[in-house]
Amino acid sequence: MDSYCYVPFEDEPGCDRFRVVTIFPGASDQAIQCTLEHVALGKSPDYEALSYVWGNPEDKADIFCNGRRLQVTADLHAALHHIRPLGSEPRRIWADAICINQRDNDERGRQVRRMREIYPKASRVLIWLGEAHDGSDEGLEAAREIAQACRQYAAERGDLKTISFSDGRASRLFGKFRDPSQFTRLEAFYRVIRRTWFTRVWVIQELALAAEATILCGNTVMDWKDLMDAITAQDHLNLHLADHERNAYIFILQKAREEWAQGMKLGLLSVLFRYRIFDSTDPRDKIFGLSSLARGKLADIQALQADYNIGTLQLYCTIAEEILKESRTLHLLSVPRRFVGIGPQHLPSWVPDWTNTRLTACLGLLNYSDINDLGFAATRASKAQIRFDDATSSLAVEGHIVDRIQAVGSVLKVEEVPRTNFREVRIPKCSYVLDNWLRVAEVKQEEPYITGEPIRDAFAQTLVTESTSESIETLRAQLDILESYASIARWLGSFSERKPPDTLVQQAVTAMHTALFHNTTDQLTLYFRIHMSSLADRRVFRTERGYIGLAAALAEAGEEVVVVKGGNVPLVLRPKGEAWTLQGDYYVRGIMQGEAYDGERCELMRIS
């Protein structure tokens, strides 16, 4: 049988047409039959939009479109099988791999730009998580029960974001999920949350723009709101296997949905920064897949118009240059740098690698926060002076060296923190590197810190990048709690390959926790925990002059602490011939409000 051949769209300016696929009823053992038709945005029939993961592009299956064979990925084929109607009425949907001619880069670019109109017009978005496996039916049934308990709790108590087992209503409604008999179901729910769909960049706009959203997993159907309620309760109540890093992806998705509905306007840098942890098969889609969510001066620039004839390197450089020109700030240089894995080749160090998907916050910020709200003024009210050298792909700035790094601590890599579930005991992740960091900062020395405050106080402020309004007495108490947890982490870290059975580890951790916190609180305050988000992928350091602070993972002893005119935070720069390479940004206790900045010392510095 002949393969399906796409009918091209009209080539005139202002063409607003797109394709809708009509799926005809059929039994599960029958081939999928459908038709494709061109429709105008303003006159389209009712349709649903499909959001799914492409999967392995080499794993293909056949459907029949207008009587001809059309190959689609196996994951899409499975989704079509499940949403195909069984009765007599056909079903209209929009699915990118069918409705866009993927072999035509020009059409692909034009239709991708049209997705910001296609998704809102759909009656609802169907989110296909994949076939039922690994107990997904059981896991989603547990999620339904948690969501039902959430509705009761919300009706009686209010906001789920403050839910805690210290509340008697929460214990009554959710208490059964603390019983080990429920752990198998919660483990199955955990595996559902870890499915690939939740980490893909395209799903952000697909969900944000959706009028309604429904989860499909095998034959199980669930409303998006119910799933969100279940994940919120699971996360805040620290139920069995609650994965707070993984849940962060889902909270970010929901945040995008809420903000779009509220009409919030985010600039291009804010959008790219917030959603950088999501992944894509094509690295250019880390820009194109988010362009619909950007508003403001850069929302309509040519570089944002999906064009698959442009290379990744050129696209990333052009976007970085446009952001720096428009903002006249250096916030772009605070986007976390890649320190593991491989990114686009020959990317200048000042250009963010948007393929880097690590969950790393800017200094003093939550992952949800806006990178343009950096609360520091390391060069006071100075204005950035930037120039671009196209011949060398370098960025010229003006700045001066403040100090040099003398010693660095271990990098806090969240993925290397033990994931054993301790039920009621939540060990802060920085506890696993705290001993090392205390030594590097020389917290036990008797002399005061360079600012005149006790060095222990300076260290506590460093852990939260002085971004909390809590009293120093509270911060001291928080550091005491962390040191107690560090003793548990030290014990857990003592095992190499031969670790005791989990039940014995659980009992030991519970006993140690009881002994350490007998008659004292073990609770870190909300704002302390929030601002510790900046610690992931960072390391404590000490300078030659005695400053301590947080540096990016790439920072090493011997590298320079530099303040750049117009920069809110100091930068880590490494000499490279007559130029410098950017290693990341710094928090340095005592110079974040311009105390070390001297405009007269500034000289031209070229970052390549």
What is the arithmetic mean of pLDDT over 415-444? 86
What is the arithmetic mean of pLDDT over 360-372? 77
Q: Give the phi and the psi of residue 143 in degrees, each rounded to 5.
A: -60, -40
What is the arithmetic mean of pLDDT over 283-312? 91
**324 vs 260: CA distance, rounded Å:** 25
514 Cβ contact list (under 8 Å, min separation 6): none
pLDDT band at 419 (very low <50, low <70, confident <90, very high): low
The pLDDT score that the predictor gives to residue 367 is 59
Reduce the DSSP state of residue 389 to 3 states and report it: strand
Question: What is the enclosing helix (H) or strand (E) of 405?
Answer: strand 394-408
Sheet with 60-65: strands ordered across: 68-73, 60-65, 33-40, 17-23, 91-94, 48-51, 125-130, 213-217, 220-223
The pLDDT score that the predictor gives to residue 55 is 86
**354 vs 283: CA distance, rounded Å:** 8
CA angle 331, 337, 343 (to 5 degrees): 125
pLDDT band at 57 (very low <50, low <70, confident <90, very high): confident
> pLDDT above 70 covers what percent of the chain?
97
The pLDDT score that the predictor gives to residue 56 is 87
pLDDT above 90: residue 518: no
**41 vs 20: CA distance, rounded Å:** 11
pLDDT above 80: residue 368: no
**Range with lowest mean pLDDT among 14-23, 68-77, 343-352:** 14-23
Contact 99, 18 (CB under 8 A): yes
The pLDDT score that the predictor gives to residue 336 is 93
The two three-digit tokens of residue 190, written as one number: 């955990």
What is the arithmetic mean of pLDDT over 224-230? 97
What is the arithmetic mean of pLDDT over 3-32? 86
451 Cβ contact list (under 8 Å, min separation 6): 458, 589, 590
Q: What is the C-alpha end-to-end distance of the chain, expressed in Å? A: 55
Mean pLDDT of the residues in the chain: 91
What is the arithmetic mean of pLDDT over 226-236? 94
How is the chain split into domains, by residue range? Answer: 17-123, 136-195+224-262, 265-327, 375-409+540-608, 412-536
The two three-digit tokens of residue 122, written as one number: 């759909």
pLDDT above 80: residue 161: no
Q: How many residues does the chain have?
A: 608
Tokens 């959603």: give the residue: 275
- Chain centroid to Cα 257, Å, comes to 15
**69 vs 46: CA distance, rounded Å:** 25
pLDDT above 80: residue 463: yes
The pLDDT score that the predictor gives to residue 88 is 81
What is the arithmetic mean of pLDDT over 418-432? 78
Query: What are the pLDDT digits (tens) for 33-50?
Result: 999 999 998 889 999 999
pLDDT band at 70 (very low <50, low <70, confident <90, very high): very high
pLDDT above 80: residue 10: no
Contact 508, 450 (CB under 8 A): no
**83 vs 439: CA distance, rounded Å:** 59
The pLDDT score that the predictor gives to residue 11 is 66
- Higher pLDDT residue, 408 or 328? 408
The pLDDT score that the predictor gives to residue 545 is 97
What is the arithmetic mean of pLDDT over 386-391? 91
Query: What are the pLDDT digits (tens) for 519-577?
Result: 788 888 878 888 888 899 999 999 999 999 999 999 999 999 999 999 999 999 999 99
pLDDT band at 265 (very low <50, low <70, confident <90, very high): confident
pLDDT above 90: residue 359: no
**531 vs 463: CA distance, rounded Å:** 8
pLDDT above 70: residue 422: no
DSSP secondary-structure letter at 532? G
What is the arithmetic mean of pLDDT over 359-377? 80
> pLDDT above 90 covers what percent of the chain?
70
Tokens 């974001």: give the residue: 161
For 217, other C-beta atoms within 10 Å of its C-beta total 23
CA angle 190, 193, 194 (to 5 degrees): 90
